[in-house]
Amino acid sequence: MKLEILIQYIEGSSDESVKTRVEEWLAKDESNSDYLTKVTKVWSNIDELKALAAIDVDTDWAFIEKRISAKKVADSGTAVVRKMWWATPMLKIAASLLILVALGSAIWYMLGNKPTTTEMAQNFYEFNVPMGQKSSLTLPDGTKIMVNAGSTLRLPKQDMVGKREIWLEGEAFFEVTKNPSNPFYVNTPNIEVKVLGTSFNVRAYKDEHLVETTLVEGKVNLTNRYREEDEVNLTPNHKAILLLDKDVKLSASVGRDYSQNLRLGRIQVSDEIDPQNAISWTKGKLVFKEENFEFIAEQLARFYGVRIHIEDESLKSNKYSGTIKNISLEQALKALQMISEFQFVIKDDEVFIKK
């Protein structure tokens, strides 16, 4: 749902048709109601935020980050902002609002409110990153983590005194502060990643039925939680994959990166690869080469925070190569249309594609 429409709804200035449309959208999913609550909360503080109405993405974003860092909020969230051009005052304010909502817990601290984390059991915080967003945080030891859309990160509340350890479901990129006497551990349901100090990416979305770790620099050790003897040391410019389902659908990049036959339930190391493709999402990009449309649609859904329905099975096997950056979902789909013919309709947060 577009922010301009939600703002009109909040202010009571929308006509009956728009009001009905918003209320139908709210009834569709509980998360939509949560999102509207956040938008309303920020909009109610608009007097403090109007200075951002004429925000310049290139220059003012550094100022926003500086303000957040000054608060030393350990669980601060930051947004990856795509450069756009705003034509009206309302759109400029909406742009500022979008950035503030995406900022997550840090902006609530700045406004004197509670962080947008869920308190888990007594000793943990859980950070949930919605589809279509990214969040960043810096841990007390200086370790930086960028968390991708649709991911959940669990952190201990005790500033990692003793063992440095987090739990991940989804995807995150880590820049771990070196401490040889105190390794850093990333836990997923299926593997444990042990780190001394390095940069690496872990992808462990539950619905993908695989875990993949990509090492940019340094060294990591991976252990299969269900086969402790299944352990590998990963070196830079390599990936390690663990397949969790015999019917898992693999991307074309997996086929290129691993020359050996992949075995179910075993950690296997790739040939030498360029790790930048695996971490392109941290720069707000989607990169794909000879990937089928079904796989690309799944990435677009997570990237833009929508649900995509491909109604014609024959379209799913069409292959595309390219890079998506700084464009809207509609522009991305139109670019794909230039390669093979299909029709699409975008309705709120759903996309319907057919021949």
Q: For 49-107, how does the pLDDT look when each residue is reduced to its tens digit (9 = 90+)?
A: 433 333 343 344 444 444 434 433 333 343 333 333 333 444 444 444 444 444 443 33
Give 273-303 pLDDT, tens digit per residue: 999 989 999 998 999 888 999 999 999 999 9
Q: Is the dihedral of CA 219, 223, 224, 229 positive or negative?
A: positive
What parts of the chain have a pLDDT lower than 50?
Answer: 47-116, 119-120
Unique residue bearing structure tokens 């024959």? 314
CB 197 within 8 A of CB 183: no
Q: How high is the pLDDT of residue 327?
A: 87
CA distances from 223 to 179, 207, 269 (A): 20, 21, 13
Residue 46: per-residue pLDDT: 52
Q: pTM score, two decimals?
A: 0.65
pLDDT at 13: 74
Element (H, E) at 320: strand 319-325
Q: Which residue ranges make up each domain of the chain? A: 117-279, 284-354
Q: How far apart are CA 208 and CA 68, in angstroms?
A: 34
166: part of which helix (H) or strand (E)? Answer: strand 164-175
**Given 3.55.50.30, 3.40.1650.10, 3.30.420.40, 2.60.40.10, which CATH number is that of 284-354?**
3.55.50.30
Q: What local confidence, expressed as pLDDT, does residue 196 receive?
A: 80
Fold of 117-279: Jelly Rolls (2.60.120)
